Amino acid sequence: MTTIETIATEIEKALCNQPMLDVHTHIDAGHLSARGLHDVLLYHMVISDLYAAGCPSGQRMSEWPDEAEAHSRLVEAVPFLPKIQNTSCYWGVRIILRDLYGWEEPLTPENWQRADAIIRKRSGDAAWPRQIMDRAGVRRIGAELGRRGDGSADDIMQYAVESAFFTRVQQGQNDAPLYELERTWDCDKLPPPISINLDAATRPRPPKTIRSAKDARLAMGHYCALMPFGKVLSTAQHISTDIHYRLVTDQEMDAAVSRRDCATVADRDTYASFLLDLFLAALSKHSHEFVYQFSLGAEPLPFETASRVSQRTIAQLADILQRYPKLRFMCFVSSRHANQSLCTMARELPNLSLAGYWWHNFFPDAIRQVMNERLDMLPTNKQVGFFSDAYCMDWLYAKAVIVRKQLAWVLAGKVAQGQYDVKAALSIAEAILLKTPQELLGMTIYG
């Protein structure tokens, strides 16, 4: 009798020849691949592992760290690697070092500088990032428009707007929705998104201040006028589970804004709900050329986030999607328990699709559960099988390897129980990895 392991091996081998599209990354055209060991070992998901193991630093690296910062953080982190050797994030580190750089030794305080030198040397090869991408089998990536740089990576990138997350909570800052939009007012181009852990004491003063519902409408009009409709695939936003979403009148907004200096949680929810409806109404006019991508299920802690979603949020999300039936929504969910509910919604709401395995779902067991539920509950044109959320090609590669392995096992299980044959399983994989991103987002294949 053929075992699941045998079937999985056969399917994984076939999947290695299956091209796929990566619908969401944070890869910067200015440094497509890892610039040194820090871009591999100190990816923010691994930093969380290290912080949990006792490493003193839990904050992310600077976007453009100098050698002193990178090396001081590596010196601090490397002694804690034995404590995280069990994690799947560190499995990703080993995949990168082994497959891309031929490094198979355990990293130690005595040898990490050699590994760093190998990566730094390879980063000087202009062809290297595209070679990594080809080895990953990825034929186009979605990236932030703000990371486009000089356009030198336009052959492999398509873009999403990430700016002004006015439905994302900032701890202790109930006026954050207003501040997010104010930052864009009077700008001639959209600013990059702010940190998930914005320091209220040092946040820059915005160019203008929203003092009424009328101001909010004017600011939103300016924000939407900066949107390069027709030139990007989507906007990527976040829906916080802590916000109570409802329809808000201008009078209610005026009253809440008047209390801004001592805004309550209820006021914050009023700001966010009012702005969200303004934004979605504007996007609906461009529904044929624009997708509203949103993340769900990651709420702020001092350095990163925790995974949680309330059932109230899911119910309110269903109401929002029904109010804007022409606008297409794509969800990145970071809570495995919310996946089943979202699948039931995607079955009944034509404008909702689900994509990948985001942040706190990017662990093998969670990936397999999410895959299993979606394959059983949704047609292939309502689900996207991969996005990496990577900040460099190296992590795109590692996540592609991990996802292919999980998909092979999930499909093998369904073949073993007679649900699919191998041919059908591979056709399904092609659909969710390649065809659906093209249909839902308009992504194209490079090369």
pLDDT digits (tens, 9 = 90+) for 395-405: 999 999 999 99
pLDDT digits (tens, 9 = 90+) for 305-329: 999 999 999 999 999 999 999 999 9
pLDDT digits (tens, 9 = 90+) for 166-178: 999 999 999 999 9
Q: Output the CATH code of domain 35-124.
A: 1.10.2020.10
pLDDT attached to residue 200: 83
Instruction: Name the CATH superfamily for 132-441.
Output: Metal-dependent hydrolases (3.20.20.140)
Q: Output the DSSP codes for 219-268.
A: HHHHHHHT--TTTSSEEEEEE-TTS------HHHHHHHHHTGGG--HHHH
C-alpha distance from residue 72 to each of 61, 64, 76, 422 (Å): 11, 14, 6, 50
pLDDT attached to residue 197: 83
* Strand spans (E) along 221-366: 234-239, 291-296, 299-300, 305-306, 328-333, 352-355
Ranges in the chain annotated CATH 3.20.20.140: 132-441
Ranges in the chain annotated CATH 1.10.2020.10: 35-124
Rounded Cα–Cα distance for residues 277 and 284 (Å): 10
Q: Which of 86-95, 195-204, 435-444 shows the lowest mean pLDDT across its residues?
A: 195-204
Nearest Cα neighbor of 215 from 172, 268, 258 is: 258
pLDDT attached to residue 1: 52
Contact (Cβ atoms closer than 8 angstroms) between residue 141 and residue 27 = yes
Confidence tier at 196 by pLDDT (50, 70, 90): confident
Mean pLDDT of 43-61: 97
Three-state secondary structure call for residue 415:
helix
pLDDT attached to residue 167: 97
pLDDT attached to residue 215: 98
Length of the chain: 447
Contact (Cβ atoms closer than 8 angstroms) between residue 42 and residue 35 = no
pLDDT attached to residue 394: 98
Please state, rounded to an integer, the average pLDDT across all residues of the chain.
96
- Dig out the tokens for 209 from the structure: 């201040």
- Dig out the tokens for 296 from the structure: 């769900």
Check pLDDT > 90 for residue 201: no
| Percentage of residues of the chain with pLDDT beyond 70 | 100
